[in-house]
Structure 1
Amino acid sequence: MKGKTALITGSAKGLGKMTALALAGMGCDIILNYVRSADEARLLAARIERMGVRATAFQADIAVREDVDRLAAEAQAWAGDGVVDILINNAGPFIRERRLFAEYAEEDLIGLVNGNLLGVMLLDHKLIQGMRRRRWGRIIHFGFGHAGEGRAWPHRAVYATAKTGLVSFTKTLAVEEAGNGITVHMVCPGDIRGMNKERTIAEVTGERDAEAPRGRPGSGEDIARVIAFLCLPQSDYLTGNIVDVTGGFDPIKTTI
């Protein structure tokens, strides 16, 4: 993967950080993105550069159209040849507090849809042109466990609607761009919380999670390994997949 450039949104911390480290370990140059975590992003960029690849960090909120425009332009300029080869759409607002749809403030409704669906589509639209010219690209969207089934998820109506809309877009874009050498997938993490998002599989092995059918908590490495595999050149026969990485956990059944 040496010479490939990867942009990972929301990557100063958490699952995005672990994904950035995994792709850097494969030889990719890394573009980090953050909203408020500037210090963490700078430290991570320095850590990645010590791995022998290039790294930078740009501030942008994917829920804000102007920020998406700016991030795309900055990423393409930094890539040198104007092409971002790999786009990992990790960023996406989520409100953990359970709410009925009627209880959402209008600005929260708009922010959730923009951050989880429209902003993702806009960033894809801007960066896919370079991938088409090179006839190679990898796009990964983030969902939630069982998003592909489109079931009702009470108290998560707005988030679930945005992500299930992204399911359809993922499958459609995968078919449209397959002939251009671009693959598109959605990775759907389980309920990985807190610092577990930045832990390895070895670090969580042996711990117990009563809600997880697998028996152990999920880790950031669980997600990063799947993404790394899907980004490989040899994974080009796979596209349009909705991949649940949940240890068997079903967030919808758990929260109803």
Structure 2
Amino acid sequence: MSILSNKVALITGSATGLGKRTAIELAKNGIDIVLNYVHSSESAKETSRFISETYGVRSMAIQSDISLLEDVHKLVNHTHSVMGRIDILVHNAGPFIKEMKKMSEYTTEEWNSIINGNLTSVFYLSKEVFPLMRVNKWGRMITIGFDRVETAPAWKFRSAYAAAKCGTASLTKTLAIEEAENGITVNMVCPGDIRNKFKEMNIEDVRGKSDLTNPVGRTGTGEDIARVISFLCNEDSDFITGSIISVTGGKDVLNKHNS
């Protein structure tokens, strides 16, 4: 039996995409899973059933908007009351506006939505979850960024998102230092250019399918990201904290967008 079999993971934004693929990867290791969603109720419940039936772990889905403090409080309290603990927090959720526009074109509402959903929500969740982790002197938190986020690069037409994630990168490093004495590690994983259906795919699904835009010759998948997150959650990964880990296949994602 996995040494992580008594652990509980809360994964935000996990009804579909990278969050869903991460939930599946952690469930393979015997970790109980709490899926969080805002609108995708049916997808979240279907994923929860699949995880429980396939891997024999406990799983449930909870609706919550993590940009709202009251929602975060209810999410964490509900998780703790049912599961009894929270050991792993994967902060995958975060609003993103697909339309490309300059900062001056953003509305105040759009700006606040992106900042609150991607950055302030980390503060909310940390404040609620870390006290539960400290009780057991063990915890893992993983945030999600983008390539070279730790250098605070420019990202044309993505000002709000870039600002929020760069702030999250700094906060990730700070929390890692502050919580180290409590047995809690805090790291950030930065996916490359992984889009649409590829977010839920396995590596084997893209083997032999050429992608000339990536140095390694194939596109990235959700499994590529989930495997790194799973590794960071391992018992023996306790020496890895405050790290920003890019998983891009070597592709320079930002130069394409900033040209």
Asked if 2 retains the 8 angstrom alpha-carbon contact of 1:218 and 1:246, the reply is yes
Instruction: Measure the CA separation in 2 of the matches of 1:253 and 1:130.
Output: 41
Q: 168-177 vs 146-155, which deviates more?
A: 146-155
**Match of 1:32?**
35
1:115 aligned onto 2:117: yes
1:7 to 7, 10, 13: 10
**Structure 1 equivalent of residue 82 of structure 2:** 78
Letter in 1 for 2:80: Q
Letter of the 1:72 counterpart: V
> Counterpart of 2:36 in 1: which secondary structure?
strand
Query: What's 1:137 paired with?
Result: 139
| Range 179-188 or range 211-220, more displaced | 211-220
| CA deviation string 1:18-42 (max 9, x = no partner) | 1000111100010001111111111
Match of 1:221 in 2: 223
How far is the alpha carbon of 1:207 from its aligned partner? 1.7
The question of whether the paired residues in 2 share the 8 Å contact of 1:49 and 1:55 is answered with yes
* Deviation per residue, 1:86-141 (Å, 9 max, x gap): 00000011112211000001111000000000012211110000111110000000
CA drift at 1:177: 0.8
SS in 2 for 1:155: coil
Query: Residues 38-79 of structure 1: CA distance to partner in whole angstroms, max 9, x if unpaired?
Result: 111111111111111100000011122221121111111122
Question: Over the residues paired in the alignment, what is the CA RMSD in angstroms?
Answer: 0.9
Structure 2: where are the runs of 5+ without partners?
A: none
SS of equivalent to 1:56: strand
The letter of the residue matching 1:75 is T
Which among 88, 93, 96 is matched to residue 94 of structure 1?
96
1:191 to 190, 193, 211: 193
**Percent identity (aligned):** 50
The answer to whether 1:103 aligns with 2:102 is no
Amino acid of the residue matched to residue 218 of structure 1? G
TM-score w.r.t. the length of structure 1 is: 0.97
Aligned to 1:158: 160
Structure 1: 5+ residue stretches without partners? none
Structure 2 residue corresponding to 1:66, chosen from 64, 70, 76: 70
Given residue 131 of structure 2, which amino acid in structure 1 is its aligned partner? Q
1:172 pairs with 171, 174, 182, which one?
174
Q: Shift of the alpha carbon at 1:198?
A: 0.5
Whole-Å separation in 2 of the counterparts to 1:64 and 1:111: 10
CA distance in 1: counterparts of 2:163 and 2:118, whole angstroms = 9
Q: CA contact under 8 A between 1:75 and 1:84: conserved in structure 2?
A: yes
Q: Give the aligned partner of residue 56 of structure 1.
A: 60
Separation in structure 2 between the aligned mates of residue 107 and residue 211 of structure 1, nearest angstrom: 35
Alpha-carbon shift at residue 210 of structure 1 (Å): 3.2
In 1, the alpha carbon distance for the partners of 2:193 and 2:73 equals 31
Alpha-carbon separation, structure 1, partners of 2:252 and 2:62 = 34
> Which stretch of structure 1 is more off in the superposition, 233-242 or 210-219?
210-219
Q: Over residues 183-228 of structure 1, what are the superposed CA-to-partner deviations in whole Å (9 max), with x where a residue is unaligned?
A: 0000000111011000000001122223222221100000000000
Q: 1:10: Cα distance to partner? A: 0.5
Alignment check: 8 A CA contact 1:146 1:250 kept: no
